[in-house]
Structure 1
Amino acid sequence: MMIDIEIRKAADLEITEAYLYYEEQQNGLGERFLDSLEIYFERIKKYPEHYQIKRSPYREALISKFPFLIIYQFTGNKIIVFSVFNTNRDWVKKPK
């Protein structure tokens, strides 16, 4: 079964902000962030039900090398990424 992944605009903005921040800190670190993110997107596509449901119907995948949480929903043959949340931020601002 082919699973599509859709990255919502808010998540895309979070990814861009993180990339720019990491590149500002160290040349190439933003690319490493994107590479890690891509690895997790591939894992989620391969095993979409592996990660726990924290608040139904949303699942959360914690990126091990960077302090980010991928918040997504899996329905049928589609994965929707709602947020790539920086866990260093205030948890009150975490998408629900």
Structure 2
Amino acid sequence: MVFKVLILKRADLEIEESFLYYENIRKGLGEKFILDYKDHLKTLYKFPFFEEKYNVVHTLPLKKFPYTIHFTIDELEKIVSIHAITSNHQDPNITRIKL
């Protein structure tokens, strides 16, 4: 079973932003991020049924970078729609709970 993968505008912008972030850290690191992301896209073409979080939204974490792909699946049309690529990194200098 092969699915079509659609990358929505928000996700496309997040991928570009992440690429630029890593390229600014070190030349070529952004390209490694893109390669890791594309490896995961190949998986979604064949088998998109990963962890279902948030009711109908599925997630797939990247292996080499702290990011997660958020997507929905239309089983009838065989379409995977990527809605977001979010960073899993948390800044330890930011305290979320105020004491």
Secondary structure, aligned partner of 2:89:
coil
> Which structure shows the bigger proportion of residues in helix conformation?
1
Note closer, same or farther for the CA distance 1:31–1:10 as it changes in structure 2 (3 Å cut): same
Aligned residues: 89
5+ unaligned residues in a row in structure 2: which ranges?
Answer: 92-99
TM-score of the pair, normalised by structure 2: 0.85
Match of 1:21 in 2: 21
Match of 1:94 in 2: none
Deviation at 1:89, TM superposition (A): 5.2
RMSD of aligned alpha carbons: 1.3
Distance 2:71 2:57 in 1: 5
Between the aligned residues of both structures, percent identity stands at 29
5+ unaligned residues in a row in structure 1: which ranges?
Answer: 91-96
Distance 1:8 1:87 in 2: 20
Match of 2:9 in 1: 9
Structure 2 residue 55 is matched with structure 1 residue 56 = yes
Equivalent position amino acid for 2:80 in 1: I
For each residue in 1:6-49, what CA deviation from the matched residue of structure 2 results, as whole angstroms up to 9, or x when unmatched? 01101001000000010011110000000000000111111111
Q: Who wins on radius of gyration, i.e. which is larger?
A: 2
CA contact under 8 A between 2:3 and 2:45: conserved in structure 1?
A: yes
Q: Which runs of 4+ in 1 moved over 6 A?
A: none
